[in-house]
């Protein structure tokens, strides 16, 4: 079994002070940095997803969607949190790029070479993924569920994820849904990756 680490949407707009801030969203950064260091030392492939929205999209409330304007491509809000220590070899997964695309799951995105994430993971021989980031109840949840649907073993990094909690309890409901789909909840203490 070969592993990969997927870091989901740790972008400025999802952190305190951002346009769609997740409460304590920046608290995932030091924890993810520890995962990134261990994954790098183990030689794991690392993927980092980002929302990369156009200025006009049905995703935003101003055009009929549920969300305030956030993570507009090439803006500071769409940049990764400055303290996030992504290694140079990290593969970037860009999602939410069209006017109709919600782009919750990293598996909806594409790599710079045009491949989707599932194709890239299989090409790298990956069968198990570790997933953490922002937000537990939206993009992390969607990524975990898509990974399970695509046949990957999934460890959800509960210590490296935070929920936006549009409705109270959304984070707990998302956790229950991910576990019901066959994912396992893990923490840094359980992280023993295999390359």
Q: What DSSP character marks residue 93?
A: E
Active site residues: 9, 95, 139
Q: Quick count: other Cβ atoms within 10 Å of Cβ 14?
A: 29
pLDDT at 1: 73
pLDDT at 79: 98
* Per-residue model confidence as pLDDT tens digits over 82-106: 999 999 999 999 999 988 877 899 9
Q: CA 35, CA 101: separation in Å to the nearest integer?
A: 30
pLDDT tier at 64 (50, 70, 90 boundaries)?
Answer: confident
Percent of the chain with pLDDT over 90: 87
* Per-residue model confidence as pLDDT tens digits over 28-47: 999 999 999 999 999 999 99
Cα dihedral sign, 29-92-79-185: negative
Q: What DSSP character marks residue 81?
A: P
Mean pLDDT of 132-150: 98
pLDDT tier at 184 (50, 70, 90 boundaries)?
Answer: very high
Q: CA 159, CA 190: separation in Å to the nearest integer?
A: 11
pTM above 0.85, yes or no: yes
Confidence check: pLDDT of 151 > 80: yes
Q: Quick count: other Cβ atoms within 10 Å of Cβ 49?
A: 30
Q: How would DSSP label each residue in 102-166?
A: ---SGGGSB-TTS-BHHHHHHHTT--EEEEEEE-IIIIIHHHHHHHHHTT-EEEEEEEEEE---S
* Per-residue model confidence as pLDDT tens digits over 156-181: 999 999 999 999 999 999 999 999 99
Two tokens at 74?
């090439």
Average pLDDT for the chain: 96
> Any residues with CB less than 8 A from the CB of 190 and at least 6 apart, and which?
155
pLDDT tier at 63 (50, 70, 90 boundaries)?
Answer: confident
């Amino acid at each position: 079994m070969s592993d990969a680490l997927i870091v989901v949407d740790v972008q400025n707009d999802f952190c305190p002070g951002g346009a769609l801030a997740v409460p304590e969203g920046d608290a995932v950064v030091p924890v993810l940095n520890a995962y990134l260091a261990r994954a790098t030392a183990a030689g794991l492939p690392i993927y980092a997803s980002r929302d990369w929205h156009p200025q006009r999209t049905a995703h935003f409330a101003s055009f009929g969607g549920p969300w305030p304007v956030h993570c507009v491509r090439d803006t500071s809000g769409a940049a990764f949190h400055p303290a996030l220590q992504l290694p140079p070899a990290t593969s970037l997964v860009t999602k939410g790029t069209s006017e109709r695309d919600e782009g919750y799951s990293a598996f909806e995105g594409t790599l710079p070479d045009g491949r989707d994430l599932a194709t890239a993971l299989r090409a790298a021989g990956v069968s198990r993924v570790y997933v953490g980031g922002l937000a537990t109840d939206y993009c992390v949840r969607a990524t975990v569920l898509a990974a399970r649907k695509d046949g990957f073993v999934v460890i959800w990094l509960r210590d490296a994820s935070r929920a936006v909690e549009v409705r109270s309890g959304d984070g707990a409901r998302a956790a229950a849904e991910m576990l019901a789909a066959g994912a396992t909840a893990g923490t840094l203490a359980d992280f023993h990756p295999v390359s």
